[in-house]
Amino acid sequence: MNKDSLSFFDKLSLSLEDNRIREPLKYALGIATGTALLDFAIKGKPYRSLVAWTAVFIPVLLGSSLYLSYTERLEAVKTAQFQAGLRYRTLTEGTKSGYSKDK
């Protein structure tokens, strides 16, 4: 299926399947909505609540997406280090099958 022939909602659905987009969006929407509702319940001013929602949504969205990309990179580095350690250990110590003298 050609991605150019998809409708807007199909493209949106495909983009929301990616965890790097979906998770920060869920965090930001939840926290910003809770903040706006709490502000509206306390002060009763809808425009102030909208400003509070915007002021919370943007930093939480950016911060959580940065954190998630950082953790993905950290996991990739740990995996690469582990694989390099295994290769080094194999080169220096050999394998268990290399120790056996059964011939």
Give domain status of residue 100, yes or no: no
The total number of structural domains in the chain stands at 1
- In-domain check, residue 27: yes
> Who has greater pLDDT, 76 or 94?
76
Q: Please check whether residue 21 lies inside any domain of the structure.
A: yes
In a domain, 66, yes or no: yes
Run of H or E residues at 84: helix 46-93
29 found inside a domain: yes
Domain that holds residue 55: 17-93
Q: Does 96 score more than 70 pLDDT?
A: no
Predicted TM-score (pTM) of the model is 0.65
* pLDDT reported for residue 103: 46
Per the domain annotation, does 7 fall within a domain? no
With beta carbons less than 8 A apart as the criterion, state whether 24 and 10 touch: no
Going from the C-alpha of 52 to that of each of 1, 37, 56, 58, the distances in angstroms are 42, 9, 6, 10
The predicted-structure confidence for 10-61, as pLDDT tens digits, reads as follows 887 777 787 778 888 889 999 999 999 999 999 888 899 999 999 999 999 9
Specify whether the CB–CB gap between 42 and 18 falls below 8 A: no
